[in-house]
Amino acid sequence: MAAAYIQSEFKKIGLQSKGDPVSYTQEFTFKSGVHGEGKEGTANNIVGYIDNGAANTVIIGAHYDHLGIGNQGSSLDANPANKIHNGADDNASGTSGVIELARYFQHNRKQEKYNFLFICFSGEELGLYGSKYFTEHPTIDLVNVDYMVNMDMIGRLNAGRELSVSGTGTSTVFEPLLKKLSKDKFNVKTDSSGTGPSDHTSFYLKNIPVLHFFTGSHNDYHKPTDDWDKINYQGEVDVLDLIIKM
């Protein structure tokens, strides 16, 4: 249902399909379990594209999978089985960010200097499966990718406006630009590393500069209580505005 919804939004926005071979979906197989010893399943990345006729492309992504009904073993609820884990912050917030940035860059009536590839990954919670698959089976030439932006949990900006941004050391322009654009707007904490427990890692391992935006952990993390009523909607708008300026 989530995959179908994302595809319907990509279609309404007017993105080009960049899945396999002429659809938004990129199907991949995986094996569940901590060490891949479980049963095999299939999942889909959702991939859309804006072609601005540019030489290089920016990838904007987020994972849209979560913990389902709490049976896969990573819930932090005391008794998680058969409880719906909607994952409003983790990571409907990032998925919404991808959709809204796609809408913005498609309709801003400006010929941007980059093409944009928008990806919603599946299989992140089980081990970055979707992003790993895409980087091994890309639907565009990764040589022409300038950098990748990952949004994982951007829906809970707190009163102190604390925003964590990882990957600032993967390009020399990131740190000074981020500080300039976020001045007096956010309390930004940066991390130079391009690796971490989210999908940007798969791209950094392919020597692509990355930025990962994150508004922080909270007591509802990986619990059924991570739901829509806890989201700071205006805070997410502010984060997306910063990403647009970046």
Predicted confidence pLDDT, tens digits, the chain (246 residues): 999 999 999 999 999 999 988 899 999 998 876 666 778 999 999 999 999 999 999 999 999 999 999 988 899 999 999 999 999 999 999 999 999 999 999 999 998 999 999 999 999 998 999 999 999 999 999 999 999 999 999 999 999 999 999 999 999 999 999 999 999 999 999 999 999 999 999 999 999 999 999 999 999 999 999 999 999 999 999 999 999 999
Rounded CA Rg of the chain: 17
Q: Residue 58: beta bridge partners?
A: 116, 147
Please tell me the predicted confidence (pLDDT) of residue 38. 79
Asked if residue 116 lies in contact with residue 58, where contact means CB atoms within 8 angstroms, the answer is yes
What single DSSP character describes residue 152? S
The answer to whether the beta carbons of residues 214 and 153 sit under 8 Å apart is yes
As given in the structure block, the two tokens for residue 48 are 């859309």
Alpha-helical (H) ranges within 108-161 are: 129-136
